[in-house]
């Protein structure tokens, strides 16, 4: 990115404004791709913990913290600087979630049941539709609640998961 900024500066100083606008477009594209990569990283973490919950039928403090942190970070990353629009709109999550769940299966196999299940076994046991549905529900909260209100809203959803009633009672 440093080279792009140097090129941008030189283009402006030399009056090559069309080149400058092309560089600005490239920088915007790079920034958006970086944000989407970060969102995907948090989606994968979210999916890993939802897979663990789905198979093991329990929640731990660590899982709750990871799920909550992932959703909170996604909210922060997804909101554009203008605070009015999003990189990923509420109805655009399906492709991201489908990719994230597939990418989460292998790392989840290391943790589910202390690593006793291989990725193929986990893949066969999980209900992708269910995990994606819960993910949609959690991500939907990021459009409805402020950053201050979001953790409590997440807790209400997590309380409905397997083991959640015991955890939050």
65 inside domain: yes
* pLDDT at 165 (0 to 100): 83
Report yes or no on 95 lying in a domain: yes
Give the model's pLDDT for residue 7: 74
* Those residues with Cβ within 8 angstroms of residue 88's Cβ, 6 or more apart along the chain or in another chain: 36, 39, 78, 96
The pLDDT assigned to 23 comes to: 72
The domain total for the chain is: 1
Q: Which of 70, 54, 63 is nearest to 133 (CA)?
A: 54
Is residue 87, in this structure, part of any structural domain at all?
Answer: yes
* 58, part of any domain: yes
Q: What are phi and psi of 163, to 5 degrees?
A: 85, -10
Residue 108 lies in a domain: yes
Q: How confident is the model at residue 96 (pLDDT cuts 50, 70, 90)?
A: very high
pLDDT at 59 > cutoff 80: yes
24 assigned to some structural domain: no
Q: What confidence score (pLDDT) does residue 24 get?
A: 76
Q: Write down the pLDDT at residue 1.
A: 61
pLDDT tens digits, residue range 115-156? 999 999 999 999 999 999 999 999 999 999 999 999 999 999
Q: Residue 55: give the domain boundaries.
A: 41-168
Cα dihedral sign, 24-75-104-65: positive
In a domain, 13, yes or no: no
Q: Is the pTM of this model over 0.75?
A: yes
> Tens digit of pLDDT for each residue in 10-55?
778 788 778 777 777 787 778 788 899 999 999 999 999 999 999 9
DSSP, residue by residue, the chain: -HHHHHHHHHHHHTT-HHHHHHHHHHHHHHHHHHHHHHHHHHHHHHHHHHHHHHHH----HHHHHHHHHHHHHHHHHHB-TTSS-BSS-GGG-HHHHHHHHHHHHHHHHHHGGGGTS-HHHHHHHS-HHHHHHHHHHHHHHHHHS-TTTHHHHHHHHHTTSTTHHHHH-
Report if residue 9 sits inside a domain. no
């Amino acid at each position: 990115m440093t080279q792009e900024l140097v090129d941008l500066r030189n283009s402006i100083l030399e009056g090559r404004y069309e080149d400058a606008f092309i560089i600005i477009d490239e920088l915007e594209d790079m920034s958006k791709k970086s944000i989407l990569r970060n969102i995907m990283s948090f989606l994968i973490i979210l999916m890993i913990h939802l897979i663990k919950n789905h198979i093991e039928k329990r929640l731990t403090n660590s899982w709750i913290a990871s799920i909550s942190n992932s959703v909170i970070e996604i909210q922060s990353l997804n909101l554009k600087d203008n605070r009015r629009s999003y990189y990923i709109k509420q109805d655009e999550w399906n492709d991201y979630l489908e990719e994230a769940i597939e990418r989460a299966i292998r790392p989840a196999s290391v943790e589910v049941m202390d690593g006793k299940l291989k990725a193929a076994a986990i893949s066969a046991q999980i209900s992708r539709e269910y995990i994606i549905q819960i993910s949609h529900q959690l991500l939907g909260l990021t459009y409805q609640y402020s950053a201050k209100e979001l953790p409590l809203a997440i807790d209400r959803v997590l309380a409905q998961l397997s083991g959640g009633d015991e955890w939050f009672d």
